[in-house]
Amino acid sequence: MFTFTEEQLMIRDTVREFAEKEVLPRAAALDETGGFPHESMQSLTEMGITGLNVPEEYGGAGLDDEVLKALCVEELAKVCASTACVLDVQFLASDIILRKGTEAQKKKYLSLAAQGKIGGFALTEPGAGSDAGSARTTAVKDGDCYVLNGTKCFISNLGPDAGYHYVVIALTDPSKGTKGMTAFIVDRDMPGVSVGKCERKMGLRGSAVAELVLENVRVPEENLLGQLGEGFKIAMMGLDGGRIGIAAQSVGVAEGALAEAVKYANSRVQFGKPIAVNQGLQWYFAEMGTRIEAARLLTLRAADARQKGEPCTKLAAMAKLYASETACFVCDLALQVHGGYGYMKDFAIERMYRDARILRIYEGTSEVQKMVISREVLSGR
């Protein structure tokens, strides 16, 4: 059903080779130390992947291709979900600036993104998770600046030594609710910006996540992104793309877990035979393989729709829902196939199982995706 261009295949294969040769050998240590994949991101920058969606005039690869972004994230996620997440969030931040930024914003921030400066997206607050519209961070006009105050939590690509700029959603007119929200680009080194609590996570330990604390941060007016009052809409538009990215990450994690299970089932001997000959386990493999294929097609369908400029909110939510549930389903069965060894850190499936769990939560939980999908379906879209 899906045919890729030669260029897409060539870049996918390059990323696949890089992932196997350079990202995989670092994955266990990254998980163990909870560091940040600086070396891999540096190499991905040199390969032109970090700035894949950045136009050539700003030093990027000029390939703003939703399908290709998904393929790159998928390849990395097969071996290391953390590295895939870092790239995916980088794509999300650049995508929003690309679509809504002024010429000056694009020139500055997309050039930096292409040079490997890592960006992020800051919507969530302690009191505003699924209900992102209840965010309380404020932005008050003062001369030629907006003064931002508030705390964003669980912000990816933010850590003691990670992250450069963030798309931040803040209230410019609290009386208007979500219509009073505006997007800003905030540099990490602006006075008043600090990194709060750095989270210690169950999985995805190689992707930095922290609080972004904003205390009287004077953000120049030229860093206002899009129109005043358009911030919530911009966030939702960005999340359409972001959810396709998480779906691609999920497909990659599931494919990686399946590969580990196949290897193990063919080599582990019990009752005098490889365990793969047991029909009870073969049915697991049939289910895992089928669900992965369906998740992959749904993800590519959503990416293709977004690339064509078609409405993709429903498809992106469906892809994110189905692929993330599939990743957890597959990791669980793949661990089961490993028996007790799957519970041990000597086997990659232990890390994959932990990494997969976040996929059903961030960029909207599975329950929130169902809210989005049902709203679209019930209104006939």
Residues recognised as catalytic: 363
- Distance between CA atoms of residues 305 and 311, nearest Å: 7
Q: How far is the CB of 300 from ligand FAD (least distance, A)?
A: 24
Among 8, 178, 307, 365, binds ligand FAD (CB under 6 A): 365
Residue 301 or 314 having the CB closest to ligand FAD: 314
> What DSSP assignment string belongs to 19-30?
IIIIIHHHHHHH
- Does residue number 186 form part of the binding site for ligand FAD (CB under 6 A)? no
Smallest gap from residue 215 Cβ to ligand FAD (A): 19
Nearer to ligand FAD, 154 or 284 (CB): 154
CB-based closest residue to ligand FAD: 129
Q: Residue 112 in contact with residue 164, Cβ under 8 Å? A: yes
Residue number with CB closer to ligand FAD (147 or 153): 153
Q: How many residues bind ligand FAD (CB under 6 A)?
A: 22
What is residue 309's three-state secondary structure? Answer: coil
Taking the complex as a whole, how short is the minimal distance between the CB of residue 244 and ligand FAD, in angstroms?
15
What string marks each residue from 32 to 71 as x (binds ligand FAD by CB under 6 A) or -? ----------------------------------------
117: tokens are 């400066």
Are 98 and 181 in contact by the 8 Å Cβ rule? The answer is: no
For ligand FAD, the closer CB: 65 or 211: 211
Stretch that binds ligand FAD, among 70-78, 270-278, 311-319, 362-370 (CB under 6 A): 362-370
CA distance 146 to 276: 62
Q: How far apart are CA 1 and CA 197, in angstroms?
A: 46
Residue selected from 367, 374, 375, 377 as contacting ligand FAD according to rule CB under 6 A: 367
- Contacting ligand FAD within 78-97 (CB under 6 A): 89
Which one, 11 or 209, has the nearer CB to ligand FAD? 209
Please calculate the CA angle 33-36-42 and round it to the nearest 5 degrees.
135
Q: Does 326 bind ligand FAD (CB under 6 A)?
A: no
Say if CB 218 and CB 156 are below 8 A apart: no
As measured in angstroms, the least distance from the Cβ of 9 to ligand FAD is: 30
Exposed / middle / buried, residue 233 (Cβ in 10 Å: 0-12, 13-18, 19+): middle
Nearest CA to 254 among 77, 96, 99, 111? 77
Do 169 and 122 form a contact (C-beta atoms < 8 A)?
Answer: yes
Are β-strands 119-122 and 138-142 bridged in parallel, bridged antiparallel, or unpaired? unpaired
* 3-state DSSP assignment of residue 162: strand
Contact with ligand FAD (CB under 6 A) among 71, 368, 372, 373: 368
The answer to whether 281 and 204 are in contact (CB under 8 A) is no
Q: Footprint of ligand FAD on residues 104-163 (CB under 6 A)? A: 120-124, 129-130, 154-156
Under the binding rule (CB under 6 A), the answer on residue 356 touching ligand FAD is: no
Antiparallel, parallel or unpaired: β 165-171 and 119-122: parallel
What are the strands, taking DSSP E only, across the chain? Answer: 119-122, 138-142, 145-156, 165-171, 181-187, 193-198, 209-220, 224-225, 269-270, 273-274
Q: Hey, what are 256's tokens?
A: 């990686």
Q: Applying CB under 6 A, does 171 fall inside the site for ligand FAD?
A: no
Q: Which is nearer to ligand FAD, 71 or 155 (CB)?
A: 155
In the complex, minimum distance from the CB of residue 350 to ligand FAD, in angstroms, rounded to a whole number: 18
Work out whether 364 is an interface residue with ligand FAD (CB under 6 A): yes
Out of 68, 93, 98, 209, the residue judged to bind ligand FAD by CB under 6 A: 209
Nearer residue to ligand FAD within complex by CB, 111 or 365? 365
- Positions in the binding site for ligand FAD (CB under 6 A): 89, 120-124, 129-130, 154-156, 201, 204, 209, 358, 361-365, 367-368
